[in-house]
Amino acid sequence: MTSTPWHAAMITPEQDFGGAPLLRKEFILEEGHGAVVDAVLRATALGVYEAFINGIPVGPDVLSPGWSSYEWRLRYRSYDVTHLVGPSTVIGVELGNGWYRGRLAWHGMSNLYGDELGFFGQLDIEFDDGHIQTVASDTSWQSGPSATTFNDLYDGQNIDARRLQPGWAEPGFAPGADWTGVRELAFDADRLAEPVGPPVVRAGVVPPVEILTSPAGKTLVDFGQNLVGWLRFTVQGEAGQVITVRHAEVLEDGELGVRPLRSAKATDTFILSGGQDVFEPTKTFHGFRYAEITGWPGTLTPSDLEAVVVHSDLERTGTFECSNELVNQLHRNIVWGLRGNFLDLPTDCPQRDERLGWTGDIAVFAPTAAYLYDVKGFLQDWLLDLAAEQKAQDGLVPITVPDALKYCPQPAEFPSPESSALWSEASVWVPWALWEAYGDLRVLRNQYESMASHTRRVEGLLSPAGLWDSGFQFGDWLDPDAAPDQPWAAKADTAVVATACMHRTARLTAQAAGLLGKHDDEAHFNALADRVRDAFAEHYVAADGTIRSDCTTVYALAIAFDVLQTPELREFAGNRLAELVRDNGYRVSTGFAGTPFITHALTDTGHADEAYRLLLEEGCPSWLYPVTMGATTVWERWDSMLPDGSINPGEMTSFNHYALGAVADWMHKAIGGIRPLEPGYARVLIQPRPGEGIDWAKTSLKTPLGEIRAEWTLDGGEFLLEATVPDGVTADVVLPDGAQRTVGGGTHSFRAPVTVAVATGA
């Protein structure tokens, strides 16, 4: 994996300093070899690390090496530090608990992977004459205490500025009596892996918009945006004075709404040194819009602090805007939800005692993510962990990756460690979404074994009739009609949902096999898909076309997953779906399974008007209801906050979940009008579908072949479209009147008559 062999050892402090221990190694450059032409530090940790050369951070990343399936993959990062090394050089490292030793999940458990922090690093310095000097982590290093006395991702960080040791990572520092040596930990370097995805970085700052005083007299800071990261500030006060910062996403009755955090304390504590102190708790992170601050010396003003936004370093690729400002805010909420939950891996939420890589969320959100940001490397890295967990569990794709839950007590509501429809389907659906977005066959090649293994495993779970109708299923999780404490109690029959998902999975696996030249597998998985489709028709579709449980989700999935056998059945399903949507007053009636697909299913069966009205509905439950309540990210529940401003009474309530934001995929493809006809957008369909309530829209996408843009407006009875296509890309343009044109690179203008009513008051 590297041109230079490893000489490093995994080292840990000889004594437990608590908090975040410091490690240092001072050395002299070897003489007689000329100037330094190259210096590369490769580093990783059991825990998280911050590395310095002569007191300067080696890179912009934070919380490295992140969270991977440590049992099989421990990623390291490489840094060009040529400009930092000098005649006398110090490598300094500060360790934190991170995901390795900190709390994970809701069981209150720590140390799931190990109880000792460790650092593994190697600095290779190349000189003019080709000589390489290697300085690696070994027992010659020193260790000591830091100013951080406690750190946990869920609970926060305590920093005592009186314990700071200026210059500890610089030459000439004289360690005190509290410093000691290090010892080696047993470690297999074969686990080391170069990361495929980007590092976690400080991605920006958000200033406060208001300082509030709560009814109880607490000082609250409102940042105006629900975000993920931490506070940073400079302050001066009496030595020993304590500043405490508590974080939460919402207010309830004017006070910090901490109940949704469950057991996560989300609290940072800072003890002042008496001089000017700069505080930034980089070994934790919080999901918050509001911060409650106590102990601040003097009067707190908005200019005194800022929120640092933290997430994986992703390039923005897709944009969307339209004439309806509520829809624009919804789209901004979806983007912020992605940013907050794409912190090294795709998590469900960033604030409570969970923050796990739930497979179901990303299974449905991957197409949206791949439009908004370049997530190819980010999700490929996560898929490597998925495949590693799956291989270790006899083909089972766990419901979270990395699978911390396998170390935790099995909750009664999830009775068996079995494949779960839609959740385990991430092994197939996410690679396919990346293939469609980026057109890189290596993604499918790398993940094919995982895709096929999952599909074969579920094949073995099917009943003799060909149905996936046994074992626990999450089903249409968080159906809005389910009780707050029973998120699994959906209207949609779980076996209908699972069997429809299996049809899609088998068909996609067959297509992947065909693309890779595995034609025996292609035939097998297509035959499996046919068997499941036939079983679905025989057991779940009545003679009149009604699908078992007769609710919006089952029709949406049957249409979107192409599981219906005839055009007549598909037409009936589309009509019945539209009827159910109308009968429900255009309020949302779907959960995690149906929501990402319902607007697509409506539009693809000729019911775009119902799809628009469903999107634009403002009553609860709907996509726009949270927007009307001031949401700045997508909520976990349709009613995470009730109309009276109180928090949903369910134990599981988050104000930053991206899964229900998968509707943005329809916004990009149907309202904006851009979708791939060939993987990687080598051929593209530009077909905006205007609807009542929106009278203009524009969207853009940076593809591997260049930027595609589509902007349209309604002008009286005319539809005006301007489309920009990169050179080398062919676009099929379809106008609302059915007219079609095929164009190549350049900017093209089109006109067509349209009967859609123009929005008013938007």
Question: What is the DSSP annotation of 72-101?
Answer: T-EE-EEEE-TTT--SEEEEEEEEE-HHHH
Would you give the end-to-end CA distance of the chain in angstroms?
56
Closest CA to 4 of 123, 100, 119, 88: 123
Peptide bond preceding 402 in cis form (omega within 30 of 0): yes
- Give the position of tokens 């010892």: 183
CB 249 within 8 A of CB 236: no
Task: Please count the CA atoms within 13 angstroms of the CA of 323 that sit on its side-chain side.
Answer: 18
Query: Is 636 among the residues known to form the active site?
Result: yes
CB 219 within 8 A of CB 208: no
> Which residue of the set 354, 436, 617, 711 is catalytic?
354
Query: Is 389 among the residues known to form the active site?
Result: no
> Which residue of the set 94, 306, 636, 711 is catalytic?
636
**What sign does the dihedral 595-596-599-602 (CA atoms) show?**
negative
**What sign does the dihedral 387-388-389-394 (CA atoms) show?**
positive
Q: What gap in Å lies between CA 177 and CA 144, rounded to an integer?
A: 9
**Adjacent-strand bridge partners of 286:** 229
Q: What gap in Å lies between CA 57 and CA 51, rounded to an integer?
A: 6
Q: Which helix (H) or strand (E) holds 41?
A: strand 36-46
135 dihedral zone (left: phi>0; alpha: psi -120 to 50; beta): beta
Task: Please count the CA atoms within 13 angstroms of the CA of 41 that sit on its side-chain side.
Answer: 24
CB 297 within 8 A of CB 237: yes
Task: Please count the CA atoms within 13 angstroms of the CA of 276 that sit on its side-chain side.
Answer: 3
* CB-count burial class (<10 Å; 0-12, 13-18, 19+) for 487: buried
Give the residue numbers annotated as catalytic, written as ranges.
Answer: 354, 636
